[in-house]
């Protein structure tokens, strides 16, 4: 399944693939270009995939990727080009505020304080939490599926960051984070927090 609002990008190499395939019927040199666009089309379908997940208990990871930081009530997740880029709600909650900031597009595995971002404030049963979607060096657009005032259930889709990015989750101080730096995780499946006292 292709992620919402991404089908037009996923299909963008297709016209070139068809053109070069037809041209290759007249001259084999065009077959090389047809193969290149076929591979690009396959990658786009892979990148913009929206995988259905069985949602686990506790506070779940909002993103696929690798844990870059898991301390001081902050979980930071780096999403490579090969991770699913649809982000999920980590717990039930109401969207209180959404703030979009234009910014730079530095690599998402480095200092990203000045990068383009969308900060989402959420009121939940465990208290107020914040989820930040950050665009990386290849990402050029953060596309939210939610709006202020929405009540969103755990595991529901909240948006996508196109091409390589980072997600940060800020939790109340009384939450016990169980993921560790360097761990590979899955959105909705990996439990990031066991409990909040």
Tell which residue, 102, 112, 127, 86, has the closest CA to residue 168.
112
Tokens of 117: 């971002």
Question: Inter-axis angle of helices 14-24 and 29-47, to 10 degrees?
Answer: 160
Which one from 61, 76, 124, 165 is the annotated catalytic residue? Answer: 165
DSSP secondary structure letters along 88-144 = E-SSSEEEEEEEEE--B---TTS--TTB-EEEEEEEETTEEEEEEEEE-SS---EEE
Q: Is 165 a catalytic residue?
A: yes
- Please provide residue 9's backbone torsions phi and psi, each rounded to the nearest 5 degrees: -75, -45
**Which residues are catalytic, by number?**
165
């Amino acid at each position: 399944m292709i992620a919402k609002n991404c089908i037009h990008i996923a299909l963008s190499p297709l016209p070139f693939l068809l053109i070069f395939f037809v041209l290759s019927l007249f001259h084999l040199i065009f077959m090389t270009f047809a193969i290149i666009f076929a591979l690009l089309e396959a990658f786009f379908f892979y990148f913009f995939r929206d995988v259905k997940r069985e949602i686990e208990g506790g506070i779940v990871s909002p993103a696929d990727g690798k844990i870059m930081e898991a301390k001081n009530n902050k979980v930071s997740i780096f999403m490579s080009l090969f991770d699913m880029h649809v982000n999920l709600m980590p717990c039930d909650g109401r969207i209180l505020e959404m703030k979009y900031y234009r910014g730079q597009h530095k690599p998402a595995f480095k200092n990203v304080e000045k990068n383009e971002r969308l900060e989402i404030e959420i009121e939940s049963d465990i208290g107020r939490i914040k989820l930040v979607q950050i665009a990386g060096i290849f990402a050029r657009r953060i596309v939210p599926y939610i709006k202020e005032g929405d009540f969103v259930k755990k595991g529901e889709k909240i948006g996508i960051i196109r091409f390589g990015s980072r997600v940060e989750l800020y939790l109340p101080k009384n939450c016990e984070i169980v993921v560790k730096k360097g761990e590979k995780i899955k959105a909705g499946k990996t439990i990031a927090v066991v409990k909040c006292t």
